[in-house]
Homo-oligomer: A and B are copies of this chain.
Amino acid sequence: MAGKDLPVSPLAVPLPEVPAIAGVSLGVIEAGIRYKGRADLTMMVFAPGTTVAGVFTKSRCPGAPVDWCRAALKAGRARALVVNAGNANVFTGKAGRDAVAATAAAAAELVGCKPREVFLASTGVIGETLPHEKLTAALPALHAALTPERWPEAARGIMTTDTFPKAAVRTARIGDTTVTIAGIAKGSGMIAPDMATMLSFVATDAKIPAPALQALLAKGCAKSFNCITVDSDTSTSDSLVLFATGQAKHPRVPAEGGAMLKDFARALDALLLDLALQVARDGEGAQKLIEINVTGATTARSAHKVAMSIANSPLVKTAIAGEDANWGRIVMAVGKSGEPADRDLISIAVGGTWMAKDGGVVPGYDEAPVVAHMKGREVEITVDLGLGRGKARVWTCDLTHGYIDINGSYRS
């Protein structure tokens, strides 16, 4: 976890330069919730009129902040976001609900809005009471120092076991106007998002009605955060929230969105995938990023399940850590998925080289290009089931000693 001086993932990408987004000011502060000597409380304030969309964990045991956000989302309006790192405020009963209400009330008073216009997220240890009086005590100083420029600090402020901060920026055209989308994310372990990831916050200056914004976000999430896994463990705190401040001067977007948002949707999808892949690149202990393509499945949904079964297999992931293109374990993972598959039609390629075709090893198979590919930082696996036209692509990372090191002593 942060503070343990984990080595930075070899798959890390540099933090991009994030421009100011009109209508957003943000900042961080050290509230001393759990970590010492680092900012752990992040705040964003949005211009009046900001619309909001969100997708959250499908866990049956979500954290109190997730419950709060789901309820707040109904009105489709947002004025502030408060995020703390180090304590997830999950499985904390009434104390958890009280903490959420107190934090929202304190932030609302500073911003001059309703508590229900404040969005909240917490990440860190589960099952310990959140000392929310530390949050509320730190909020006035935090609020007083917000500026439009502090995206890099925010990207760092929400980290837990992450080894590098994660942000992404895209621009898009709505009519003749250029709008900007910026986002940050955190996540490294307990990553098997089920409608969202650990935490990701995205803002744009576009003016988009909440229903259209929600539709775009759900669609983009399905192709990005829902296609990554680190360890098959779905977090209780997964939250992806998108804020649209409406400061850009473009023609009016109808509630249902439509053709006008085509380029915006493209840019949003690209940004969400960028952030999701950064999370996979920072998977706990990751040494290799793995892309898994499944084709020839009976349906796209079936292809996704097969791909996820491969991506979540400890035996596939340890084989890749050992730079072993062990296709037998891939066959095993296809078989255990329970999805339609015919052993004798399956073909498997690694790094573009077909190792197995139609249920057996390729005659005269030359291992050399596969061995070379396995030594790289990015490993690509393709499985063709030979049954239909369903396809899917997911990403994961390898399973190494680093994962055991990090998670065998997380709380200590």
Chain A residues proximal to chain B, CB less than 8 Å:
57-62, 88, 90-96, 125-129, 189-190, 192, 194, 231-236, 312-315, 318-319, 321-322, 324, 326-329, 331-341, 343-344, 346, 356, 358-361, 399-401, 403-404, 407-412
Kindly list chain B residues whose C-beta atoms are within 8 Å of the C-beta of A94: 360
Q: Which residue of B lies closest to A285 (CB)?
A: B404
Q: Is A91 within 8 A of B60, CB to CB?
A: no
Q: Is A336 within 8 A of B91, CB to CB?
A: no
The answer, among B92, B128, B335, B407, for a CB contact under 8 Å with A315, is B407
Kindly list chain B residues whose C-beta atoms are within 8 Å of the C-beta of A93: 344, 358-360
Q: Is A313 within 8 A of B90, CB to CB?
A: no
Chain A to chain B contacts (Cβ below 8 Å), 10 pairs? A60-B341, A190-B329, A192-B336, A232-B313, A314-B314, A318-B404, A321-B408, A322-B412, A399-B404, A403-B404
| Bound CA–CA A344/B329 (angstroms) | 40
The answer, among B61, B125, B332, for a CB contact under 8 Å with A59, is B332
Q: Is B91 within 8 A of A340, CB to CB?
A: no
| Bound CA–CA A324/B406 (angstroms) | 13
| Bound CA–CA A167/B356 (angstroms) | 37
Closest 8 CB pairs of A and B: A126-B328, A61-B335, A93-B360, A59-B335, A322-B408, A318-B407, A234-B336, A127-B328
Kindly list chain B residues whose C-beta atoms are within 8 Å of the C-beta of A322: 407-410, 412
Interface centre among A189, A332, A339, A344 (most CB of B within 10 A): A332
| Bound CA–CA A314/B234 (angstroms) | 11
Interface centre among A91, A234, A356 (most CB of B within 10 A): A91
| Bound CA–CA A205/B409 (angstroms) | 51
- Knowing A233-B332, A331-B90 are in contact, say whether A60-B340 is a contact too (CB < 8 A): yes
Distance in Å from the Cβ of A63 to the closest Cβ of chain B?
A: 9
- Knowing A93-B359, A93-B360, A360-B91 are in contact, say whether A332-B408 is a contact too (CB < 8 A): no
Kindly list chain B residues whose C-beta atoms are within 8 Å of the C-beta of A327: 91, 126-127
Q: A93-B360, A127-B356, A319-B408 are in contact. List 8 more A-B contacts (CB 8 A).
A: A59-B335, A90-B328, A126-B331, A232-B314, A233-B332, A314-B314, A324-B410, A326-B410
The answer, among B232, B324, B336, for a CB contact under 8 Å with A412, is B324
The answer, among B339, B341, B407, for a CB contact under 8 Å with A319, is B407
- Knowing A343-B60, A343-B91 are in contact, say whether A235-B332 is a contact too (CB < 8 A): yes
Interface centre among A88, A314, A326, A329 (most CB of B within 10 A): A314
Distance in Å from the Cβ of A130 to the closest Cβ of chain B?
A: 12
Distance in Å from the Cβ of A409 to the closest Cβ of chain B?
A: 5
Q: Which residue of B lies closest to A408 (CB)?
A: B322
Kindly list chain B residues whose C-beta atoms are within 8 Å of the C-beta of A400: 404, 408
Q: Which residue of B lies closest to A314 (CB)?
A: B231
- Knowing A404-B399, A410-B324 are in contact, say whether A315-B125 is a contact too (CB < 8 A): no
Q: Is A407 within 8 A of B331, CB to CB?
A: no
Kindly list chain B residues whose C-beta atoms are within 8 Å of the C-beta of A412: 322, 324
Distance in Å from the Cβ of A34 to the closest Cβ of chain B?
A: 13
Interface centre among A232, A408, A412 (most CB of B within 10 A): A408
Kindly list chain B residues whose C-beta atoms are within 8 Å of the C-beta of A329: 126, 190, 233
Distance in Å from the Cβ of A339 to the closest Cβ of chain B?
A: 7
Kindly list chain B residues whose C-beta atoms are within 8 Å of the C-beta of A125: 328
